[in-house]
Amino acid sequence: MAAPVSIRGLSRCFAGNDRPAVDKLDLEVNQGEVVCLVGPSGCGKSTTLRLVAGLDTPDDGEITIDGRTMRGVPPQDRDVAMVFQGFALYPHMTVRQILGFPLKMRGAARAERERAIAQAADMLAIRHLLDRRPGQLSGGEQQRVAMGRALVRQPKVFLFDEPLSNLDAALRAELRIELGRLLRRLEATALYVTHDQAEAMTLGKRIAVLRQGRLEQLDTPRCIYEAPQTSFVASFFGVPPMNLVPVERSGEHVRFGPLRVPVPRAAGAHELLLGIRPEHVQIQPDGAPSCADDTRSASRLPAQIVSIEPHGAETHVELEANGQLLRARVKGFDAPVPGESVSALLDLAHVRWFDASTGHAL
Ligand SMILES: Nc1ncnc2c1ncn2[C@@H]1O[C@H](COP(=O)(O)OP(=O)(O)OP(=O)(O)O)[C@@H](O)[C@H]1O
Ligand SMILES: [Mg+2]
């Protein structure tokens, strides 16, 4: 069976721009799958969504939905529902009418409509707003109504463009869990744009990382985090991001201060980036006893604390080692103070390597 959404060689270059907004993009969304599109501002996420929705026309490439080409097919005939920031709601209708409208158009019975409206309203916590009109709603409430309208419709493909971005942090965290549950229950097929890593990780079965209109990596959240294919993906995902230390290879090793770290055999390049996540950098106060059989002693680096940032459950620490700034995460508030001399213990089992010139993982 053809994938619900298949994007092949998709390109879109706006007049006057020196670079395409979307550049030969290949992407497939499988049946019942939510693919999250992430990437820095301006990398082409919204443009991609608009092209799939039919609100814009590609310069090149092909989009198919359920195996049917979308070339020349107007938005209303694509069976997609798009929710984006600043979505325009019919101003003269009540929320109840807005939610029920797509079902009414489809000829659904009143009882079915009421049930679907109630379900969406409960999930989005807008039941108390059902008799208001859009002009009487806050931005975040309007956004939830727009989302409810799409959910009630149950289209073949959902297209979400940062649908939770107008909400406060608490509501956002609550809704992404609810929304995830609902999308799974509906076995919804969706492309979901977000800036929020937690949202991408929670909602996406796979995550597509875009950079300058191109696909950097398409993978499960776990692979994106644990096995980034490029240094860009490595530094984009994770809070704080992965440490990427420029090192030079000599023979089978690289040197980082007093450390001699073995390099994988396949490494052809001379200039490398040693990647290590902050949770794999431990901090030990200077003068703490070090066991002779401590296998980590080989990865011990003298370092100095630069700054600390407490978050409650953990503290993010910046330290300087061998002229490099490193980030570490420690539990609770138990971090040393800025200026203190410490040892940084690198867990070398978790090191990722990248070619410094291409950014590709070795
Ligand atoms: N109508 C347009 N005319 C000219 N350039 C455009 C147009 N729409 C988008 N662009 C450009 O295309 C690029 C991609 O824009 P797009 O809106 O897809 O980015 P995005 O990834 O959604 O960013 P953000 O995260 O900020 O929403 C940007 O450089 C933008 O300036
Ligand atoms: Mg956008």
What are the structural domains of the chain? Answer: 5-228 (3.40.50.300), 243-355 (2.40.50.140)
User: Which one of 43, 164, 209 would you pick to mutate in the ligand 1 pocket, going by the greatest count of ligand atoms within 8 A of its CB?
Assistant: 43
Atom of ligand 1 nearest to the CA of 45: 21
Q: Is 45 in the pocket of ligand 1 (CB under 6 A)?
A: yes
Start-to-end Cα distance in the chain: 35
In the predicted model, is pLDDT for residue 296 greater than 70?
Answer: no
Whether residue 27 is predicted with pLDDT greater than 60 in this model: the reply is: yes
pLDDT of residue 288: 63
The per-residue pLDDT for 9 is: 98
pTM of structure: 0.89
pLDDT given at position 111: 95
Percentage of the residues of the chain whose pLDDT score is greater than 70: 95
pLDDT tens-place string over residues 54-96 = 999 999 999 999 999 999 999 989 999 998 876 778 899 999 9
- pLDDT tens, position by position, 145-168: 988 999 898 899 999 999 888 788
**Residue 44 · residue 212 · CB < 8 Å:** yes
Q: What is the pLDDT of residue 276?
A: 97
CB-based contact 241:327 (threshold 8 Å) = yes
- pLDDT value for 292: 45
Closest ligand to Cα 14: 1
The pLDDT value recorded for residue 297 is: 47
- Alpha-carbon distance of 345 to 269, in angstroms, equals 26
Distance 42 CA to ligand 2 centre (A): 7
Is residue 294's pLDDT more than 80? Answer: no
Most confidently modeled range among 24-38, 95-109, 259-273: 24-38
Closest ligand 1 atom, CA of 15? 4
State which ligand 1 atom lies nearest to the alpha carbon of 213: 14
Residue 47, ligand 1, Cβ within 6 A: yes
What is the distance between the alpha carbons of residues 111 and 28, in angstroms, rounded to a whole number? Answer: 36
- Residues 285-310, mean pLDDT to the nearest whole number: 74
Neighbours of 94 (CB within 10 A): 16
Higher pLDDT, 183 or 208: 208
Q: What is the pLDDT of residue 169?
A: 86
For ligand 1, the distance from its centroid to the CA atom of residue 25, given in whole angstroms, is 15
Mean of pLDDT values over 237-242: 93
The answer for residues whose C-beta is within 8 angstroms of residue 189's C-beta and 6 or more apart is 4, 5, 29, 30, 31, 32, 33, 34, 156, 157, 158
Per-residue pLDDT of 307-353, as tens digits, reads 999 999 999 999 999 999 999 999 998 888 999 999 999 999 999 99
Helices within the chain (DSSP H only): 45-53, 95-105, 110-123, 139-153, 169-185, 197-203, 221-226, 231-236
Instruction: Give me the pLDDT at residue 176, please.
Output: 85
Q: What is 167-199 written as a DSSP string?
A: S-HHHHHHHHHHHHHHHHHTT--EEEE-S-HHH
Say what the pLDDT of residue 269 is. 79
Cβ pair 102, 76 in contact under 8 A = no
Ligand 1 pocket, mutate which of 12, 45, 159, 165 (most atoms under 8 A from CB): 45
Does position 298 have pLDDT exceeding 60, yes or no?
Answer: no
- 268 pLDDT higher than 80: no
Would the CB of 17 count as within 6 Å of ligand 1? yes
Average pLDDT, the chain: 91
> What pLDDT does 166 receive?
77
Cβ of 14 less than 6 Å from ligand 1: yes
Instruction: State the closest ligand 1 atom to the C-alpha of 19, by its place in the atom list counted from 1.
Output: 29
Give pLDDT tens digits for 246-258: 999 888 899 998 8
Q: Residue 1: its pLDDT value, please?
A: 67
For the segment 17-40, the average pLDDT, to the nearest whole number, is 97
